[in-house]
Structure 1
Amino acid sequence: MSAQPDPRYDIDGDVYVSPRYLAGSTGTGDPALAPLLGLGWDLQHDDLGNVYVNAPDRRVRLGYLPEGEDDGLWRINGYLDPFGPPAWGVCFNDSTPTEFVRAFTTALASAYEQGPDVYLARPVSGIDEHDPFLAVVPLLKQGWEFDRPRWGLFAVQSPDGLAAMEFTTGDLDPAAELTTRDARWQLWAGNSVERPAWYATASTDTPVALLTAVTRCVADPAPLPRWRGETFSYIEGMARLTPILPAEPPAPTPLDVQRAVASRRPAALPASSVPRWSTTSRPALPGPRR
């Protein structure tokens, strides 16, 4: 049986950032693209370095746009009709922790394998698995609290007040939901919603299971590893940075100790190498008298 790799050696960073919603992006899109590419989705790119990923039925499309027109680095849309307008759309800006995007794409890959009834499922209030407010439950379980009520807006806030999730009520412009921050859902972190450290938006008909995958990841109390030189300056005063120490060697077992002692003992000479004149040889018998 082969030995399992120690996960401590796979840590990519020199500090842990806590709470994790203050970690910022890792600066690479590969981890978030992997769940979809693992299903064989088509990948293309343009001359600027933007990446486009399409589902086989062309009903889900992802754009990773480092050279896009705004800070919307990740734009992911689902389509009832491959040639029609998007049925739902999600955007993560360029500072969003990559782990949150990967949580979304992982859930999307799972939903896609189950079929369009899952990855195109519209939220419906009062229906258990499709109730939109289920997406808030993971945050509430980790101590997030309802923010003071505002007209047309429902919100929950992290205990430190540095992150929030907002739900806008009433009618919204479907086109604006897909291209601006005027969407049904908005998740953000930082000092203010006007100038957040990062944000993510989701349109009205985004499947609840996909939203919940993100909020569950955001609510996870485990810190995220980052390279300190690449963290945002504001993190220094808001987040807790804990050095990632090198892994300590495992304590020796009693068998390891016995083997070490045995290796220091001098090796015994083989019987064939003992000379006949040594003290281990029997003395010669006296001959007969003459």
Structure 2
Amino acid sequence: MKPHDDIDGDVYVSPRYLARATAIGDPGLDPLRDLGWELHNDDLGNAYLNAPDRKVRLGYLPEGDDDGLWRINAYKDPFGPPVWGACFNDSCPTEFVTAFTTALAEAYEQGPASYLARPVSGSNDRDPFLAVAPLINRGWRLDRPRWGAFAVHSPDGLAGLEYTVGDLDPEAELTTRDARWQLWAGTSIDRPYWYATATTDTPVALLKAVTESVSDPTPLPRWRDDTYSYVKNMAQLIPITPPPPPAPTPLDVQRAAARQPAPRPATSVPRWSTTSRPALPSRR
């Protein structure tokens, strides 16, 4: 199997939030599969991961009913409604999903007090602003796009995070884009290139992992032909040069020498000497 850390593409896309999703979802699933979470597939090709205690569930839904490719929910009671939920649509760069599931794996190992930790304003480690801080620290600017919400936008205006204040419908948060948190890229939040949402009680540590990944200045490798045409005019596409061949090891040198043909014996070259027969006189 191809390692996920191999470069898979012919260009680097910068800024990284203008890249699109990768062709496979394995990198997003692996942090939880590595913990022994149970994986099931349906006949359509959708994949489902369940935590051992059934209190966290992930669905990878390429054949789902809408464009929500990734849906992650957590429960206090496995048979009750979700405590929190997050959704990444089918165009969201897979690296952002992987950042979320990696943080979720760490929180799950710490126990319910971590992966069910509600955000608390003013808390040292659970204040919602902690999820916004990575964006502010990397030059994203604050905005008030509408009443009842605040937002931060990337310096080029092509990505944003919007936080809605006030009371929200828990069911709508889980099933629509009307959630507490919405992260997106594009020229408009109404028609984004990709989006991700998270409900009110999503742990701050998981959200912070995503915003750190989104604002990371490191570009992402992609295939030029798979990059959206309208993004090509806005993103910087840097060709990926093939890696140089590895330096030969002493064993390589030894093997190469063994494959060389044996040297031929030197050909004898006649030399003039004092015993050589004198030249015949020329004809007059």
Which TM class, normalised by the smaller chain length?
A: 0.7 to 0.9
Per-residue displacement from partner, 1:104-134 (whole Å, max 9, x unpaired)?
Answer: 0000011000000000000000001000110
Tell me how far 1:234 sits from its aligned partner. 1.5
Name the count of aligned residue pairs: 263
**TM-score, scaled relative to structure 2:** 0.85
More deviation in 231-240 or 242-251?
A: 242-251
What letter corresponds to residue 229 of structure 1 in structure 2?
A: D
| Aligned: 1:191 with 2:174 | no
1:103 aligns with 2:83: no
Structure 1 counterpart of 2:198: 202
Q: Which residue of 1 aligns with 2:33?
A: 37
- In structure 2, the partner of 1:113 is 109
C-alpha deviation, 1:149, in angstroms: 4.9
Counterpart residue type for residue 127 of structure 2 = D
SS in 2 for 1:73: strand
In 1: Cα distance, 2:170 partner to 2:31 partner:
28
2:65 aligned with 1:69, yes or no? yes
- Which of 221, 228, 232 aligns to 2:228? It is 232
Deviation at 1:247, TM superposition (A): 1.4
Structure 2 partner of 1:163: 159
| Separation of aligned partners in 2, 1:32 and 1:149 | 31
* CA gap 1:252/1:63 in 2 versus in 1, 3 angstroms: closer
Alignment partner, residue 59 of structure 1: 55
Match of 1:238, SS?
coil
1:81 has 2:103 as partner: no
Q: Distance in 1 between matches of 2:223 and 2:214?
A: 20
Q: Structure 2 CA distance, aligned partners of 1:184 and 1:18?
A: 28
Distance 1:151 1:182 in 2: 15
Residue 40 of structure 1 aligns to a residue whose secondary structure is: coil
TM-score where L is the length of structure 1: 0.84
Aligned-pair identity (%): 73
SS at match of 1:248: coil
Deviation at 1:248, TM superposition (A): 2.6
**How many angstroms apart in 1 are the aligned matches of 2:139 and 2:148?**
24
- Letter of the 2:8 partner, please give it: D
Aligned partners of 2:220, 2:182: CA distance in 1, in Å? 22
Question: Equivalents in 1 of 2:25, 2:76: separation in Å?
Answer: 27
Q: What is the CA deviation profile of residues 117-173 of structure 1, one whole-angstrom value per residue up to 9, with x for unaligned ones? A: 000000000001000110001111111010245310110000000000000001000
Which of the numbers 8, 15, 20 marks the counterpart of 2:11?
A: 15
For structure 1, list consecutive stretches of 5 or more residues without a partner in the other structure.
1-6, 254-259, 270-290
Gaps of at least 5 residues in structure 2 are: 250-255, 266-284
Aligned equivalent of 2:148: 152
Letter in 2 for 1:37: R
